[in-house]
Structure 1
Amino acid sequence: MQVALRPVHDSDLPVFFRQLNDPESLRMAAFTPVDPADRQSFDAHWRRLRASADVHARTVLLDGDVVGNAAVYGMPGEREVTYWVDRAYWGRGVATAALRALLSEVPERPLYARAAADNAGSLRVLDHCGFRETARVPQYAPARGEEIEEVVLRLEG
């Protein structure tokens, strides 16, 4: 299994859109767009990300196939990581390998991450990459239509 990152290509976007609209993935991610099926909003979001000098966005490849995306975004001192891996690849170390690769490309610290408190898989990935919990806060989760507990994590230098 070879996990690699590369810049996002236009041809990746339909794959990302399909992944974003998987019901189980949406529920687990929790903090998603209000209407993930809105393709125009999705495309506009990715245009903004790809045009921003403050965003380091990458496509996640597994043995050459597109299986997700990962990014660092935000203001200096408050930058966050985010990642999304196709559900078919959960539990196989892909997200951990992708996040480690992203962290090696973006050496600035601290970095932050957020995850639903019941998203054990994502919390495990973040723990394996050195993130440590700093807070738990109530937050509205659009994918669930309710307020849930969100874990805030920090990665030091």
Structure 2
Amino acid sequence: MEITLRDVQAEDLDQFFAFQQDADAAHMAGFAPTNPKDRSIFDHHWGELLNDKKSLVRTIDVDGQAAGSIAVFRDGDIHEVMFWTDKQFWGNGVTTTAFDQFLEEFTERPLRARVVTDNMGTLKILESRDFKEIGEEQVFSNARAQVVTEKLFELAH
């Protein structure tokens, strides 16, 4: 299995939109748009992300297939990383490998991440890459229709 990162191509967006429809994955991530089936909202969000010169966005590619996305964006003065991997690739190192490649490409620090407290896979990746927990926030999760606790992490070096 060859795992690489590449620039997002137009056809990747169709795949990302399909990934967003997976209720289990949205639940695990803890976030989703109010209406995940609304393609215009999805296109607006991705258009802003891809056109933001302060963001770095990559497709996670597995053997020539879009398997997910990883991006860093600015939240005020802080860079924040987010990623999404299609459920069929969970548990076999795809996200971990892609995340390591991304950390090699994007070297600005500090770098923050947030994760719902029961998303064990993401917690494991962040903690094993020296991200340190710096706080928690209570946020409303559209995907879960309830308030959830997100842990905030930071990679300082």
Paired residues, number: 157
Alignment root-mean-square deviation, CA? 1.2
In the alignment, residue 152 of structure 1 is paired with which amino acid? L
Determine if the alignment matches structure 1 residue 30 to structure 2 residue 21.
Answer: no
Identical amino acids, percent of aligned pairs: 36
User: For residues 125-149 of structure 1, what are the alpha-carbon distances to aligned partners after superposition, in whole Å with 9 as ceiling and x for unaligned?
Assistant: 2122221211122111111111011
For residue 44 of structure 1, give the secondary structure of its aligned residue in structure 2: helix
TM-fit CA distance, 1:82: 0.4
For residue 125 of structure 2, give the secondary structure of its aligned residue in structure 1: helix
User: For residues 104-157 of structure 1, what are the alpha-carbon distances to aligned partners after superposition, in whole Å with 9 as ceiling and x for unaligned?
Assistant: 111000000001001111111212222121112211111111101111000111
Aligned ranges for residues 73-152 of structure 1 at < 5 Å? 73-75=73-75, 77-152=77-152
Query: Where in structure 1 do 4 or more consecutive aligned residues deviate above 3 Å?
Result: none
Q: Counterpart in 1 of 2:5?
A: 5
In the alignment, residue 37 of structure 1 is paired with which amino acid? K
Q: Using the alignment, how far apart are the partners of 1:35 and 1:123 within structure 2? A: 26
Q: Counterpart in 2 of 1:65?
A: 65
TM-fit CA distance, 1:3: 1.1
TM-fit CA distance, 1:76: 6.5
Aligned ranges for residues 44-55 of structure 1 at < 5 Å? 44-55=44-55
The unaligned stretches of length 5 or more in structure 2 are none
The unaligned stretches of length 5 or more in structure 1 are none
What TM-score do you get using the length of structure 2 for normalisation?
0.95
User: For residues 54-99 of structure 1, what are the alpha-carbon distances to aligned partners after superposition, in whole Å with 9 as ceiling and x for unaligned?
Assistant: 1100000112211000000014741100000000110111111111
